Chains A and B, each alone.
Chain A
Amino acid sequence: MRTLRFLWVLGLLPPCYCRYFSGETFSEELVIRPLPDGKVASRFEFTTLLHGATPRNPQNLSVEDHSQHYTLFPLALGQILREYAVTELHLTLNAGKWNYDRWGYPEESDVATGASLWAWMAEGSGSASAANARHRVDARWRDLRNALAGLFCASIASLDEQRTTSPGRAFTPVGALPAWPASVQHAFRHASLPSENVCTENLTPFLKLLPCKSLSGLAHLLNPHRLFDADWHGMGLHVSWRPNEGVQVRLTFQSVSDPLRAGGNSRDWSLRLLFDRVVDRACPVAASSRIIVTLPTKELYSVHPEPSSVVDGRGAFDLSDQSFPLDLRLRWAEPFQHATVPSAEAPLSVRRMLRGSAQDHGALAISITNPDSDPVSVVYLETLPWIVYLYLSTLELSVGGVRRPDLLQDISYIAPVPHGRAATLEAFLSLPARSTVTLHIGVGRSFLRYTEHPPDAQRGWDLPGAVVALLPAASGNQSSATDSTNKGAMQEMKKWNQPQRIYTPALLVDPATPDFSMPYNVIIFTCSLIAFIFGSVFNGLTRRFVVLKSPE
């Protein structure tokens, strides 16, 4: 009976049930990885490939674009990409701080706290005429922010010029940048807003971009009630161009759930436990749809159902040969105990702190530990809003208390413009094997104009996290060196020849803030009164007024 009804639906919508649409492919994947501290990391990836498409050449922005007809590719996004001629675009909205030391390197490498947006765009037609002013990179970057803010219901629009930077080395395009004739180089723009809160209002538009929404397939597991209760969660949008394939849109959702939070000592998980949902049916338009589970290597466990294949300790479940409803379950034979000896999970361990309790100055202290037996080179990127400025002359590098200026290979610094532009510091560092390098820079805190204080509760200003990018040349032998490191993600990064980026948590800085509440007025009033009384009394005691009769 059930099959009959299904066939009837099929008859009604014949064009929908073909997995390969002309020129568009949709595939989905869920990677679940138990973490050493008992938590479970899961990563959803929804990839849509528009075959044969190329990004729009901004030189042709004044010419009308060809019409857009998509079946699987999200139209709302396609329109934004074409309108502002964006070649490559990345947007991440994350909540929480990714704990590299305990969770290892994430499947999705961009885990900066809050909202981050970065894009590559070519310069529009060079003439400075008023009509074409909107085709300039900065104008399109502004419009892109506003459009994405509308699409994702996030405060991306506030990533204004005061937060936009263009660092040179830490970020490289994932895809290729087309070499258009008569076009200048691609420009890179990056901005981040660490105080952005990510929640349901961002997930709903995210789901709308998927062909099956959250009705079927893996996206059905995206249950806001459980995802936003997780220890860490983040969504990402990645658009890139592959020369031989086309334009690829990758929508990702990553979360870290804690099965131990209920209070027991069992880290067994199931899809129902993690997401409070099971997969009822496959997404009919997905070309491939699979769940990959990292299986324990040292402990006894049982997994139900059996994976279709096991490669390299990772079991793959293809949704096409699973029975529905599908609820994956992984059980350990032994109860879980927390490790009391810390193990290095990530390729590098980075800590960043703001020292000093004064309100006008302090110091930024960064320590980077390289647990590896080989020296590595990294790019240390710091993008600071102008509220905080660096004293570059106080930059000091040391290993175990010994000053090592030789570790700093190169440095580039774009100074902040007060009330206008953020600062960018990129430092090339070489980290000796098995050592901790400490970087110490004095910082000053600006004095804000009173209108620059936000009108709501004043908790301070969030400084975006720093980025430490492992240069690809050195990361070649990383995955073989540390056993516990998240191999899958490392190989992924190697495949695209991307520098591995490690994000530090955001920092809170409170510049000198007057107490804008009532007592402030009272204090001012009282002080004026006392000054007035004192002044007149002092005058009266020390000066003498006499009447002189002037001879007429």
Chain B
Amino acid sequence: MDRIRALLRPAGDRNLNRVRRRQALLSALTRRIHLLKITLFCVGYLWMLALPSPRLGRGIYIDENALGPGQVNTYWNWGDVANADRYLELLEGLRDSNSTHEQRAEVLKMEFLKLGIPASTQNYVFSSSTGKYEGTNAYAVLSSPRTSGTEAMVISASWVSRIGEEDGTLNLRGVSTVLALANFLKRYSLWAKDIVFVISDNHLDGMQAWLNAYHGETQSNLQAAELELSSGVIWTALNIDYPGHSFSHLGIFHEGINGRLPNQDLLNSFHYISKWTGGVPVLVYDHVESQNTAPSWIPAEYREELHGYSHRSNTILRHIGYQARGRGSGVHGLFHQFRIDAFTMFGLPATGPHGFHAIGRIVESTLRTTNNLLERLHASFFFYILATPDHFLKIGSFLPSAVLISVAMMFAGLKIWSDSAWIPDTSAAIEKEGENNGNKWIERIRPVLPVLGMMISTHIGGVALFYVLTTAWFSHNQTIASILLVAILATLSLRALLVPAEDTRAVAPVSQLLKALNLCFASTVISITTVVNFSLAMSLAILLGIPLSLSSPSKSLPLRIAKFTAYLGLASAWIFASDEVRKALWDWEILRVWFAPFVCIVYTPLVLQAAFVCLLPS
């Protein structure tokens, strides 16, 4: 007992003991900081690898009690299917007659007006460095009875399907579903919110123009007509994409631009309704689970798990691809910037068995569910990774992976920072009694300002790079311009070779300080991004984590140049992926996706700073 007491309350001055204890703890920690760093890196990367495991995550559930999905009888029937077929004939006529954007929108508007629903059209023109994008949207506002019209739901379909971005497939069945739904929904007096039907032109740009006009937002390169009709605050939106003749599954596409996600309750309700009311299986994207191809010598229970792992990793990789690039996976993504929860239901083209009858019932029931909402969808359901339609990862099971790596980088940076202030005094090895460590430490100056100047100049260079990318000159001669830009970048960076080596005994080397600050800054960027856009943070953690920690100056010039070239490649190789660059720039100019500026202004400069570390004298 006494021994325990002595351990907890040692004799002597309490403050002295505390300082000593702290010192002991800290020195134990700082001595093992390398080990700690490596452990954090390993745990972080392994965690990332474990994300698709079926053991991680949990089954979906409905959090908002007001939604009550699938609790209603649906009335959509074969008569409405016949209506949809008639609308489809009309639209096929429009397609075959090669009608212009205006003619098409005018016909759609007339169809709404014939139903007695106020409708209008909207012309828009986007001008970008790659050319002009014009089109005409048609939309209609069904005022629901007895309500003040302060809230609204949107049902939308874009004229071009999401699979039509390459081959021009039209979303004719989606559009006819919307028209037939308009005819159907106006017959009921139970709507508590206005219903807005939008047929947006093209794939993405039409909806962007419509949403900007609806919310009165201005975009410098957009000329859009004001909307003649308006309604209240939009809470939810359903986007219908049904390009094929029939469909076998309904796929959920949910990523919004800039990495925003819709409230998961909406997706879960849809999943529930589609499964139980419509009898249609649901997919995440268009990933149909394939046959188990794992080798047969693996024991059965592991085979199952391995198969689940490979299927989920496909889905999660695609999710990361959409979210990290901020691109959004469809028209629904544009709604998220205005706090509207939206997703696309994509009818996976197949020879059967589902068609207008199933999709109509599902949309009707989903609308009844969102109609029940008393307040905006809220709560925690904005941070998730949908691994399969009925299984998801909660924020707690994926967020730490990137945070751990960022913590490791922060530790590494701080360690270098504190190390750079001291240098062992090797010139005078004075043996002194009472000191158990024979080394003397000399304190030296840390020239922070030049280092910060260097960092800021790389970021300014990033801004200039981005400016060049958005010019029309770049989009016209992309290959030559890319080579030229990388060459300029390399030449400008090589000037770091000219920095003279200073006396490291008095002044800390610039390279060491640059590395410290670079690591700390990169770590901060990653940890902040985790909550805003996890996929981007995770990609940064992979691309920056180990490379930035490994950057170091060296004595021989060829080695310096070689290292520099490697980092320069990491920083700017993306510029040669011309398709990706073009898409990212289009996203920025039309949709205001900040992935392109982020890469130019944050990512590339961060890696360039590591490249400088290799060039600078040690």
Contacts and interface: CB of A to CB of B under 8 A. Distances in A.
Contacts of B34: none
Q: Which of B25, B150, B230 has the most chain A CB atoms closer than 10 A to its own CB? A: B150
Interface string A96-130: 11010010000000000110000000000000000
Given A37-B116, A96-B146, A355-B216, A519 B415 contact: no
Contacts of B374: 457, 459
A99 to B, nearest CB: 7
Task: State the majority secondary structure of interface residues on A.
Answer: loop
A541 interface: yes
A96 B143 CA distance: 9
B215 A542 contact: no
Given A263-B187, A338-B116, A547-B19, A231 B379 contact: no
Nearest to B109: A340
Contacts of A519: 379-380
B146 A541 contact: no
B151 A459 contact: yes
B143 A515 contact: no
B418 A507 contact: no
A356 B233 contact: no
Interface string A491-530: 0000000000000011110100001011100100000000
Interface in A451-493: 457-460, 462
Given A113-B148, A353-B216, A459-B151, A261 B187 contact: yes
A334 B114 CA distance: 16
A236 interface: no
Given A230-B145, A353-B230, A506 B150 contact: yes
Task: State the majority secondary structure of interface residues on B.
Answer: loop
Given A38-B116, A355-B215, A365-B216, A538 B414 contact: yes
Interface string B67-83: 00000000000000000
A228 interface: yes
A547 B23 CA distance: 10
B292 interface: no
Contact of B375 (A231, A339, A458): A458
A97 B151 CA distance: 12
Contact of B337 (A229, A232, A357): A357
A540 B36 CA distance: 15
B339 A515 contact: no
A399 to B, nearest CB: 14
B113 interface: yes
A233 interface: yes
Interface residues of B, number: 48
A403 interface: no
Given A261-B187, A340-B113, A505-B149, A542 B414 contact: yes
Nearest to B25: A540
A491 B217 CA distance: 42
Contacts of B463: none
A508 B233 contact: yes
Nearest to B13: A547
Given A340-B110, A457-B375, A519-B379, A540 B26 contact: yes
Contacts of B233: 460, 508, 510
A545 B145 contact: no
A338 B146 contact: no
A483 to B, nearest CB: 21
Given A232-B146, A340-B114, A459-B151, A540 B29 contact: yes
Interface in B175-232: 186-189, 215-217, 230, 232
A261 B216 contact: no
Contact of B148 (A97, A356, A545): A97
B476 interface: no
Contact of B215 (A95, A228, A261, A357): A357
Interface in B522-547: none
Q: Which of A357, A506, A545 has the most chain B CB atoms closer than 10 A to its own CB? A: A357
B150 A508 contact: yes
A440 to B, nearest CB: 10
A351 interface: yes
A315 interface: no
Contacts of A174: none
6 tightest Cβ-Cβ pairs between the two chains A and B:
A355-B216, A519-B380, A508-B150, A457-B374, A338-B116, A231-B145
Given A338-B116, A457-B374, A459-B375, 19 more contacts: A95-B146, A96-B145, A96-B147, A97-B143, A97-B147, A229-B189, A230-B145, A232-B145, A232-B146, A261-B186, A261-B189, A262-B187, A353-B216, A459-B376, A508-B232, A515-B379, A538-B414, A541-B417, A547-B16
19 contacts: A38-B116, A97-B149, A102-B118, A231-B189, A260-B116, A261-B188, A338-B115, A351-B230, A357-B215, A357-B339, A459-B151, A459-B376, A505-B150, A506-B149, A517-B380, A537-B411, A542-B414, A546-B19, A547-B16
